[in-house]
Amino acid sequence: MRQHKKIRLHIPTYAFVVEGETEVWYLQMYRQHEQKDRNARINIKPEIPQKKKIKDQYKLVKELARSEYDKVFWIVDLDVIVKETNEAPKEKYPPLLKFMKLRRNLYEKFDNVQVIVNNPCLEFWFLLHFVKTNDYYKNYQEVLGELRVHLKEYDKTRKYFMRPGRDIYGRLKPYLKDAIKNAGELGEFDEQNPTKANCEMDVLFKN
């Protein structure tokens, strides 16, 4: 009797370039929950550049895109870039324009890169789980006041994000469909109107 070889299914591998630890903690909990619920293996690798300037993050994205990953996600909080742009000398090339140029360059050169823009920050994505809004929040502090109406103890700490039985992803998951819908209705990042409220985290759930 001929023996049939087992066909190994390709397991997609994703790399993430992020600016801070909160994104890493959220992604780790995302992996833990989604892997269990989908009965599948999800391989993700969050990367925090040693240098956190946009140019250094961009270089890391390119490096990972040329390696073995099926998809490389670059998660960008726009509030810092907008702040640096507003404070930059007029004769200096604005950081926001620099970021948009790097973003376009990635899309021109790579098919496996997805830039996720959150304006102002990741916490806006959390807020969209509870509220449908296109209000513009200038920074994290402005979002925090609204977010704590729904997550009273919210704190940017590992302990809060990864608390057994009450981790950040588990707390938010019952409202995930609303968040995906609310984020999608804000549309994609618009270079013609770069400072409007924006959240592209919903693309993680369309891959």
pLDDT digits (tens, 9 = 90+) for 37-72: 655 556 677 777 666 789 999 999 999 999 988 899
* pLDDT score, position 140: 95
Which DSSP letter does residue 130 get? T
* Residue of 139, 18, 151 lying closest to 73 (CA atoms): 18
Q: Any idea what the Cα angle at residue 109 is, between residues 105 and 110, rounded to 5°?
A: 115
pLDDT digits (tens, 9 = 90+) for 116-150: 999 999 999 999 999 999 999 999 999 999 999 99
- Which residue type does 45 have? K
* pLDDT score, position 51: 64
3-state DSSP assignment of residue 117? strand
State the Cα–Cα distance between residues 160 and 32, nearest whole angstrom: 16
C-alpha pair distances (Å), 26 with each of 6, 14, 98, 172, 191:
35, 15, 27, 11, 27
Question: Strands 13-17 and 43-47: what pairing?
Answer: parallel
Confidence of residue 152 (pLDDT cuts 50, 70, 90): very high
Share above pLDDT 90 across residues of the chain, in percent, rounded to a whole number: 69
89-103, 134-148, 167-181: least confident range: 89-103
pLDDT > 70? residue 3? no
* pLDDT score, position 8: 60
154 near 144, Cβ under 8 Å?
Answer: yes
User: What number is the average pLDDT over the span 159-180?
Assistant: 96
Most confidently predicted of 21-25, 37-41, 109-113 = 109-113
- Which residue type does 13 have? T
Q: What is the mean pLDDT of the chain?
A: 89
Considering the segment(s) 13-206 as one domain, its CATH architecture is 3-Layer(aba) Sandwich (3.40)
**Cα end-to-end span (Å), the chain:** 40
